[in-house]
Structure 1
Amino acid sequence: MAGLRERKKAAARKRILDCAARMFREDGYEASRIEDIAAAAELSVATFYNYFGSKADLLLAAVLEETAMVIASVEECIAAPEPTLEQAFGAIIATYFGKSFQYSSREVWRMALARTLLDPEAEFSQRYIEIDCELSDQLCRFLAEMQRCGLVREGADTGPAGRLLFNNVNMNFIEFMRSSAMTAEQVRNKVMAESAPVLSLLAA
């Protein structure tokens, strides 16, 4: 019985999140009201607050949901790497800019980043920073695994190199968020071009 209750709660939470993500994409974050999100999820406003304390909580949940999908997909890239370091890294970059903005939108990410700048000590901001750390650590593990597979030369310090590559990815991600005209293909090509010197130094 408890298992069924938990599944129902998880399904209701997912329904709220899916409706919110769709409305954020279509109507914009500011224009999306909790009352409308609850109605779209076929729940009362009171029930909505059993799952999320505010619209900002929904914003964070949308970012976390999308990040979880990205991290899982990158793990698949690490587990079955391409034959060269550049190709393996390229598969990860394709995942970053292919999976991101499928569940949420550029506006959602813009709002999330803006909130971290406006209130850096808030719980929301701290969790957003943790997301960046998780992604950075994953790139470091990617390079370490590529070193184990013989695609990264022995003796290369994969920790600092992974963080350097992630910082470049992150800066281009921010540029991609700011520019509605930039396409995913353009930002992928830019990241690969700027990362090429580092990858060349690392390659076995």
Structure 2
Amino acid sequence: MVGIRETKKADNNRRILEAATKFFLCVGYDNARIEDIADSANIAVGTFYNYYKNKGDILLAMVSMQVEEVLAAGQQVVEHPPLSVELALSTLIDRYFSLSLVYFNKEMWRTAVATSIQRPETPFSQRYTELDKRISQQVSALVRRLQLKGFVRPEIDVEAVGEMIFNNLNMMFTEFARDDSMSVDELKRRVVWQHTPLATLISVPS
């Protein structure tokens, strides 16, 4: 019985997230109604509230799901990095940004970023900050791995460099979300261009 109950809960949660994604993308986060999400997920409104308190909770679940996939893709680069700092960073950037619009569009990212800034005391903001920190730590882990392999200068503070790279990634992604005309490919090109001088500075001379 426990297995059946857990399977049903997981199925309900999947259908809620799928329905919410559809409505957020089609009518926008502000215009999406919980009643319509529940109806599309084929559950009662009361059942919806057993899973999420409000739309913000759904948005947080979607952010978490998106970032977990980004981290999983990034971990592959950390574990098997290309054998140059410039190529390793550009590969990581490509993995991060290629997954940025799988579940979200730019309007949804703007809502998520604004919510995290405007309500810093909320679980949403705290979780969002935690996810950002994990990405920053992963960038540092890549720099550390490259340092251990002899590609990054030994005196380089990998934590500082990782935070520097992440902060620029974060700033540029915010600019991307704000600018509806900027494509993902343009975002990647600009960020790789910005990070190329840094990669040269921290690399061991060949």
Is the shorter-chain TM-score for this pair beyond 0.5, marking a shared fold?
Answer: yes
Counterpart secondary structure, 2:36? helix
Per-residue Cα deviation, 1:24-71 (whole angstroms, up to 9, x for no partner)? 112110111111111111111111111111011011111111011101
Cα offset, 1:150, TM superposition: 2.2
Q: In 2, are the aligned partners of 1:22 and 1:104 still within 8 Å (CA)? A: no
Q: CA-atom RMSD, angstroms?
A: 1.1
Q: Normalised by the size of structure 1, how large is the TM-score?
A: 0.96
Write the letter of the residue equivalent to 1:58.
I
Shift of 1:3: 2.4
Pairs within 5 Å for 1:123-202: 123-202=123-202
- Residue 90 in 1 paired to residue 100 in 2? no
Conserved 8 A contact 2:17-2:58:
yes
- SS of the equivalent of 2:29 reads coil
Q: Structure 1 stretches (4+) deviating beyond 3 angstroms?
A: none
TM-score, scaled relative to structure 2: 0.95
1:197 Cα offset (Å): 1.8
User: Residue 117 of structure 2 aligns to which amino acid in structure 1?
Assistant: L
Displacement, 1:148? Answer: 1.6
Question: CA shift at 1:193, angstroms?
Answer: 1.2
Is the contact made by 2:70 and 2:99 (CA closer than 8 Å) also made in structure 1? yes
Gaps of 5+ in 2: none
Measure, in 2, the Cα distance between the counterparts of 1:3 and 1:28.
Answer: 36
Query: 1:85, 1:146 within 8 Å by CA — same for their partners in 2?
Result: yes
Which residue is 1:50 aligned to? 50
**What is the rounded CA distance, in whole Å, between the counterparts of 1:152 and 1:30 in structure 2?**
46
Q: CA deviation at 1:151?
A: 2.2
Structure 1 gap segments, 5+ residues each: none
Find the aligned partners of 1:143 and 1:3 in 2 and give their Cα distance.
43
Instruction: Report the number of matched residues.
Output: 204
